Amino acid sequence: MTMVDPKKSVTDALAAVLGRNLPASEPEAPIWSDARFVRDMIHQLQQEQSFLGRASCLFTGPSDQWMKTRLQYLMPSDEPEAKPTVNKAEAYSDEYTLLELHRSDVAALARFSQRVDHATFYLFGAIDTAAVHVPRKVGVTLRRSSKGWYGELAERCFARWKETRHLLVHEWSLPEKAEPLYRTAFWSLCELTPADNQLKQLFEQDRTRASRELVRHVDAYVDQLALAANLSEELARENKPSAEKVQALRTIQENLLTKAGERLTLTGAAKQLNISRQAMHKRIKSGAALGLMIGETLVVPAIQLIQSEAGSTVVPHLKDVLLLFGEAGSWSALQYLVEPDPALGGAVPIDLLKGGNVQTVIAAARAFLGLDEG
């Protein structure tokens, strides 16, 4: 095992451990200024796990924190892998994997937006550090993908890229103290393109040319995102229900609410139950009470409440029934509760539930939903 003298410079210490013949460097010179060396080093570190612990301790200065973090990330853990204790949405939130399963176009836009936002802040930091005045780009005209919500979301992302793009193509002298900030922004955007490595190599040779090439490649990626957003919006318009279908659905909902008696607001229902508005909302969200959306208004059917001298309460065991309708939805639950069910001899389920026939109503609800089939 090669012994490392901690008094040596970072580059010399790594050279001693790796057995590499590298030119001597000043201790304050950042080791990652040689991009090829860094890539080779990381590759070898991945192959030489025994070296990771020794190499990590070599980076002690503030400017070495990035490399130290990278080395610690590569180090294998001696502890057994713990079983996940979070749901899939939490586990995949950072990588957009769950979003990718449902909407690959939205996931791609989310990645793009994150990279551009990251780069924009670092570019601003570089320009501010260099005390350079860069005029704002005014009057940027963007393509209109659609007037829909997703189209507007895409437009906002593209607008941010237009501002970042302007910072990249603006010619200004990059002082040494601003270089790490600019480099971080450049690296972040490079990862959006298939020319990641080539652009980083070019950056070491000619920053101005590299920035312009980066803009060209990201512009091409933006065009792809815009095409995907346009297609998504077009499909959404084509699949949008007709006015006749919307009116028919609204008529059905109105009929069901009429059968359900008085329509209470969230505040009104909370007042009857002598609880807070927040507590009432929590009950609806957990399935302990029934609430339905009419447009942007939440309606609470009064039929689920039982009046007594002591005050109002929600029908006992209503939650046991509502939870069966998790996938079918709250409107299907209301339909089942207020309409006569042939499986119950024509009785109305909510009336039997109020009478204490809980298991009978639950069995009929399962049959209504086809949960026991197959």
pLDDT one-digit tens code per residue, 99-151: 777 788 888 888 899 999 999 899 888 888 888 777 665 444 444 444 577 88
Beta bridge partners of 314: 305
pTM reported for the whole predicted model: 0.42
Closest by CA position to 312, among listed 271, 261, 280: 271
Stronger pLDDT, 206 or 40, i.e. the higher one = 206
- Burial of 234: CB neighbours in 10 Å, binned 0-12, 13-18, 19+: middle
What does the alpha-carbon distance between residue 189 and residue 167 come to, in Å, rounded to a whole number? 13
Q: What is the mean pLDDT of residues 88-94?
A: 40
Q: What is the mean pLDDT of residues 10-30?
A: 45
> Does residue 315 contact residue 306 with C-beta atoms inside 8 Å?
yes
Strand ordering across the sheet containing 263-264: 263-264, 297-301, 292-294
Query: What is the model's pLDDT at position 131?
Result: 83
Stronger pLDDT, 159 or 135, i.e. the higher one = 159
Q: 23-32, 163-172, 224-233, 308-317: lowest mean pLDDT where?
A: 23-32
Query: What is the model's pLDDT at position 133?
Result: 77
Query: What is the model's pLDDT at position 17?
Result: 44
What is the CA angle 200-202-203, rounded to 5?
A: 65
Stronger pLDDT, 30 or 159, i.e. the higher one = 159
> Does residue 185 contact residue 178 with C-beta atoms inside 8 Å?
no
Stronger pLDDT, 236 or 49, i.e. the higher one = 236
Query: What is the model's pLDDT at position 353?
Result: 94
> Does residue 302 contact residue 264 with C-beta atoms inside 8 Å?
yes
Q: CA of 370: how far to CAs of 87, 321, 324, 346, in Å?
A: 27, 14, 11, 19
pLDDT in tens, 55-68: 444 444 443 444 44
Query: What is the model's pLDDT at position 363?
Result: 92
Alpha helices in the chain (DSSP H): 10-18, 35-47, 49-56, 65-74, 88-91, 97-102, 104-129, 149-169, 179-190, 196-205, 207-239, 243-259, 266-273, 277-286, 318-322, 330-338, 349-354, 358-369
> Does residue 275 contact residue 311 with C-beta atoms inside 8 Å?
no
Closest by CA position to 212, among listed 195, 230, 237, 235: 195
pLDDT in tens, 326-363: 888 899 999 999 999 998 999 999 999 999 999 999 99
Query: What is the model's pLDDT at position 170?
Result: 82
